[in-house]
Amino acid sequence: MKKKGPNRGGPVRGRRFSRRLSALSPGRRRQKAEKNQTALDPRIAERARRVKEKEESQAVKRAVWLLSAMTMVGVGIWLLHSPYLAVRKVVVTGEVVSAGSQRVAKDDLIAGAPMFRVDTESIREVVLSDPWVSAVEVKKEWPNTVSIAVEERYPVAWVLTGDGWRALSLDGVALDVNPQQVLPRITGLAGAALDPAHESIGPALDFVERLRPDLRLGAVIEIHGRQVTAEVAKRVVRLGRPADLEEKADVLVVLVDDYTDPGSVINLFSPLRPALYRPTPG
């Protein structure tokens, strides 16, 4: 039986494996990485420097922008509260009888106030609280002026109500006028008082307003139920129901001028088919 010889390759191969293992050990790998990193350091450092400079530049720009914005806001707030943008002039147009602007002055809504604090809607409501005012427009005219444009009501006719004679505007608002002022009169049948909410008062006011001024003065309108009768230029006008009264007023003007005499009776139930009854010579 043969004996096996010594394992010549075993120890040698073991030493080579040990060298390779040591070459791959964590310490050696770290050293190799540090060596490679050292070789790349100049490029990495340059790139890092550029990134840092860019970030610093952006930070400076942001700071400058923020400071500028804060400065502008501060200047704006100062200007809004400064006398340079305070109300110095109030221009009122269309105000003849009403006193809305005086109410605004009394409530201290405008004088000396900063323009940005002027509440045009509040001013409008105060002016509209005057019954003589039918419409108002309030505007800011920078830097220092507030304009108030007023449209006033005017009395159209005296209307006899349970509280006495009331001068009403075209939209039915009672106005405080001189009791001696000459206006057309609107009453119930045979001079009876009317309910201010009567549905025929509005159309009757439209009829009166449509008449020519010389026919309007002295006109008397009687409302009885849903029927309307008028006396215009000494002519009795049966208007019928309170419909198309403005058109009936236009037809009446033509009939008074060219086709009738004082004392005539005009039937205008239909404005397209008027009927005339001339007085019989006495």
Q: Examine the domain organization and report whether 193 and 213 are in the same domain.
A: yes
Name the domain boundary from 119, 134, 152. Answer: 152
Tell me the pLDDT tens digit for each residue of 75-115.
Answer: 566 555 556 677 888 899 999 999 888 888 776 667 677 88
Position 60 in a domain? yes
Cα dihedral across residues 15, 21, 25, 27: positive or negative: positive
Total count of residues recorded for the chain: 282
Name the domain boundary from 57, 78, 99. Answer: 78
Name the domain boundary from 52, 78, 104. Answer: 78
Q: Examine the domain organization and report whether 142 and 167 are in the same domain.
A: no
Position 36 in a domain? no
Q: Examine the domain organization and report whether 54 and 91 are in the same domain.
A: no
As for how many domains the chain has, the answer is: 3
Residue 1: the pLDDT is: 46
What is the average per-residue pLDDT within 151-175? 96
Q: Examine the domain organization and report whether 257 and 240 are in the same domain.
A: yes
Q: Examine the domain organization and report whether 203 and 141 are in the same domain.
A: no
Q: Examine the domain organization and report whether 190 and 212 are in the same domain.
A: yes
Helix (H, G, I), strand (E, B), or coil: what is residue 207?
helix
Query: In terms of pLDDT, which residue wins out, 26 or 241?
Result: 241
Position 4 in a domain? no
Query: 58-90: string of b/e by CB count within 10 Å (b at 16+)?
Result: eeeeeeeeeeeeeeeeeeeeeeeeeeebbbeeb
Residue 194: the pLDDT is: 95
Residue given tokens 């400076």 in the structure block: 60
Position 18 in a domain? no
Q: Examine the domain organization and report whether 105 and 130 are in the same domain.
A: yes
Beta strands in 133-173 (DSSP E): 133-141, 145-152, 157-161, 164-168
Helices assigned H by DSSP within 82-183: 100-106, 120-128
Q: Examine the domain organization and report whether 103 and 135 are in the same domain.
A: yes
DSSP β-ladder status, 235-240 and 265-267: parallel
Residue given tokens 């208007």 in the structure block: 239
pLDDT band at 171, cuts 50/70/90?
A: very high
Residue given tokens 């109410």 in the structure block: 103
By the 8 A CB rule, do 201 and 226 touch?
Answer: no
Q: Which domain holds residue 179?
A: 157-277
Q: How far is CA 36 from CA 24, 43, 113, in A?
A: 16, 12, 75
Q: Examine the domain organization and report whether 145 and 254 are in the same domain.
A: no
Position 30 in a domain? no
Q: Examine the domain organization and report whether 170 and 259 are in the same domain.
A: yes
Picking from 255, 263, 260, 207, the residue whose alpha carbon sits closest to that of residue 235 is 263
DSSP β-ladder status, 265-267 and 145-152: unpaired
Position 125 in a domain? yes
Q: Among 70-84, 216-230, 251-265, 267-281, where is mean pLDDT lowest?
A: 70-84
CB proximity list for 212: less than 8 A, separation 6 or greater? 253
Position 25 in a domain? no
**What is the share, in percent, of the chain residues with pLDDT greater than 70?**
78
Residue 20: the pLDDT is: 54
Helix (H, G, I), strand (E, B), or coil: what is residue 197?
coil
Q: Examine the domain organization and report whether 189 and 147 are in the same domain.
A: no
Position 16 in a domain? no
Hey, what amino acid is at 236? V
Q: Examine the domain organization and report whether 163 and 239 are in the same domain.
A: yes
CA distance 107 to 113: 12
